[in-house]
Amino acid sequence: MSKFEKGNSGKPKGAVNKITQTSRELFLETLEGQSEYIAEAFEKVRKDNPRAYLDLFAKYAQYFVPKKTENSDTVKHEFVEFDIKKALEFVKTKEK
Protein backbone atom coordinates (compact mmCIF):
# COMPACT_ATOMS: atom_id res chain seq x y z
CA MET A 1 0.00 0.00 0.00
CA SER A 2 1.38 3.38 -1.01
CA LYS A 3 1.74 5.97 1.70
CA PHE A 4 -0.86 8.24 0.05
CA GLU A 5 -3.51 5.62 -0.67
CA LYS A 6 -6.89 5.84 1.02
CA GLY A 7 -7.03 3.69 4.16
CA ASN A 8 -3.37 4.20 5.10
CA SER A 9 -3.53 5.22 8.75
CA GLY A 10 0.00 6.67 8.70
CA LYS A 11 2.45 6.69 11.57
CA PRO A 12 1.16 4.96 14.72
CA LYS A 13 0.34 7.18 17.69
CA GLY A 14 3.38 7.58 19.94
CA ALA A 15 5.88 6.51 17.26
CA VAL A 16 9.21 8.31 17.65
CA ASN A 17 10.85 10.04 14.73
CA LYS A 18 14.22 8.46 13.81
CA ILE A 19 16.07 11.78 14.08
CA THR A 20 14.47 12.49 17.46
CA GLN A 21 15.47 9.04 18.72
CA THR A 22 19.05 9.47 17.49
CA SER A 23 19.26 12.94 19.05
CA ARG A 24 18.03 11.63 22.40
CA GLU A 25 20.57 8.81 22.37
CA LEU A 26 23.38 11.25 21.54
CA PHE A 27 22.28 13.59 24.33
CA LEU A 28 22.19 10.72 26.85
CA GLU A 29 25.70 9.63 25.85
CA THR A 30 26.92 13.22 26.28
CA LEU A 31 25.15 13.51 29.63
CA GLU A 32 26.74 10.26 30.85
CA GLY A 33 30.17 11.67 29.98
CA GLN A 34 29.42 14.84 31.95
CA SER A 35 27.89 13.20 35.02
CA GLU A 36 31.06 13.60 37.12
CA TYR A 37 31.23 17.33 36.34
CA ILE A 38 27.51 17.79 36.94
CA ALA A 39 27.84 16.15 40.35
CA GLU A 40 30.80 18.41 41.21
CA ALA A 41 28.88 21.51 40.14
CA PHE A 42 25.84 20.48 42.18
CA GLU A 43 28.05 19.91 45.23
CA LYS A 44 29.70 23.33 44.85
CA VAL A 45 26.34 25.08 44.54
CA ARG A 46 25.01 23.09 47.52
CA LYS A 47 27.90 24.23 49.71
CA ASP A 48 27.87 27.86 48.54
CA ASN A 49 24.13 28.47 48.40
CA PRO A 50 21.74 25.76 49.65
CA ARG A 51 18.68 27.66 48.43
CA ALA A 52 20.06 27.97 44.89
CA TYR A 53 20.96 24.28 45.06
CA LEU A 54 17.36 23.33 45.82
CA ASP A 55 16.10 25.50 42.94
CA LEU A 56 18.66 24.00 40.58
CA PHE A 57 17.89 20.47 41.70
CA ALA A 58 14.14 21.01 41.24
CA LYS A 59 14.71 22.27 37.70
CA TYR A 60 17.01 19.34 36.93
CA ALA A 61 14.66 16.76 38.43
CA GLN A 62 11.69 17.83 36.31
CA TYR A 63 13.30 16.12 33.33
CA PHE A 64 13.44 12.79 35.12
CA VAL A 65 10.29 12.74 37.24
CA PRO A 66 6.90 12.99 35.56
CA LYS A 67 4.96 16.10 36.43
CA LYS A 68 1.66 15.71 38.21
CA THR A 69 -1.27 16.92 36.21
CA GLU A 70 -4.49 18.16 37.67
CA ASN A 71 -7.44 16.00 36.88
CA SER A 72 -10.07 18.24 35.35
CA ASP A 73 -12.69 15.50 35.24
CA THR A 74 -14.95 16.35 38.09
CA VAL A 75 -18.05 14.42 38.91
CA LYS A 76 -20.91 16.31 40.42
CA HIS A 77 -22.95 14.28 42.83
CA GLU A 78 -26.56 15.15 43.24
CA PHE A 79 -28.19 13.84 46.37
CA VAL A 80 -31.93 13.40 46.46
CA GLU A 81 -33.80 12.71 49.66
CA PHE A 82 -35.22 9.22 49.69
CA ASP A 83 -38.64 8.70 51.19
CA ILE A 84 -39.52 5.02 51.60
CA LYS A 85 -43.26 5.78 51.88
CA LYS A 86 -43.31 7.52 48.51
CA ALA A 87 -41.30 4.68 46.97
CA LEU A 88 -43.72 2.08 48.30
CA GLU A 89 -46.71 4.12 47.09
CA PHE A 90 -45.11 4.29 43.66
CA VAL A 91 -44.65 0.51 43.62
CA LYS A 92 -48.25 -0.08 44.71
CA THR A 93 -49.60 2.19 41.94
CA LYS A 94 -47.47 0.37 39.38
CA GLU A 95 -48.84 -3.00 40.50
CA LYS A 96 -52.47 -1.91 40.05
Query: Per-domain residue ranges for the chain?
Result: 18-95
- Can you list the positions of beta strands (E) in the chain? none
- Going by C-alpha positions, the residue among 88, 94, 38 that lies closest to residue 64 is 38
Kindly report the pTM of this predicted structure: 0.47
Question: pLDDT tens-digit profile of 4-25?
Answer: 677 777 777 777 788 888 988 9
Residues 6+ apart with CB under 8 A from 82: none
What confidence tens digit (pLDDT) does each residue in 29-56 have?
888 899 899 899 999 999 999 999 999 9
